[in-house]
Structure 1
Amino acid sequence: MSRIRAGEIRETLVTRRVSTVLSVDTKGRSFTEVTGAVSQFLATIGAGDGEVSLFCRHTSASLTIQENASPEVQLDLLTALDRLAPEHAGWVHDLEGPDDMPAHVKSVLTGIHLAIPVMSGRMALGTWQGIYLIEHRARAHRRDLVVAFVGDGG
């Protein structure tokens, strides 16, 4: 039988909203970890308790929280996404090449927004979790992520 335990309840009055744009240069179809950049943003603004959100301003790239210990996970995920949305599958939309429409499908599947609780200035990520921008296009791009913290100061 499963057992569920409640943790400490913390109440915070939201007094701040701080945002920035992170520009990420990708190397083509790949995962780029941005956890450190988001952590640095939280440290720079003196975040306390609240929530940090990330929003990808593109339709052919996306965001995910995924394992950050084994690079094989990222390789397997790229392979799985390619199987779900392969190039040359009869797509009608191909204005920017055969990877154009598959990139849009992969973005729909993985999502363009994340929200992460922040406790005492640190993201409440699990031990092996990292935040990744996924580039779905074959060639390199510069991608913009809007990062916003809502909460109190540390």
Structure 2
Amino acid sequence: MNDTPGAFTTRILNVASGSAETVVDLTHECESFLREAARGRDGLLNVFVPHATAGVAVLETGAGSDSDLLAALHTLLPADDRWQHRHGSPGHGRDHVLPALIAPHATLPVIGGALELGTWQSVCLVDTNKDNPDRQVRLSFLG
């Protein structure tokens, strides 16, 4: 990390998303990064997933919304043989369409060094690709 105040600071998280479709809550990791990088300053946190088959979402977790999101994605993007992109698991082409619906990035406000989320909001990795169990997430603070 660059320790210069006002500088761009970044960190790579390695996330084991497993071999099943999942929503992984990254909020704690984002907050931990900001404690070191922001040090009480205002700025922006960018969360970026450098993968063609994953996205970043801000949503409620733990009350069923994460499961509801995966169910909605099954309705919108069925894992069947309709997709032109056909390597990998059956229906894998849907995973390559996912980032058009759930962007691979989110930029969030940081106020006084803390992530400014709503009461029930969490920062999450959304990964429907069962063929790639290891992901990277880049956290970047500018403040």
Tell me if both proteins adopt one fold, taking TM over 0.5 as the criterion. yes
Structure (1 or 2) with the greater strand fraction: 1
- What do you get for the CA RMSD once the two structures are aligned? 1.5
Per-residue deviation, residues 76-111 of structure 1 (Å, max 9, x unmatched) = 110110110102242121111223211111221111
TM-score (norm 1): 0.83
1:146 aligned onto 2:134:
no
Say which one has the larger Rg: 1
Structure 2 SS opposite 1:48 = coil
Q: Distance in 2 between matches of 1:69 and 1:138?
A: 22
The Cα of 1:139 is off from its aligned counterpart by: 4.5
Change (3 A) 1:85 1:78: same
Report how many residues are paired: 137
The Cα of 1:144 is off from its aligned counterpart by: 0.6
1:20 aligned onto 2:11:
yes
Structure 1 stretches of 4+ moved >2 Å: none
Question: Which 5+ residue runs of structure 2 have no aligned equivalent?
Answer: none
1:55 aligned onto 2:48:
yes
Structure 1 SS opposite 2:124 = strand
Q: Distance in 2 between matches of 1:69 and 1:20?
A: 26
Question: Which 5+ residue runs of structure 1 have no aligned equivalent?
Answer: 1-13
1:77 aligned onto 2:69:
yes
Equivalent position amino acid for 2:57 in 1: T
Q: Identity percentage over the alignment?
A: 27
- Show the counterpart of 1:122: 114
- Show the counterpart of 1:39: 31
1:108 aligned onto 2:100:
yes
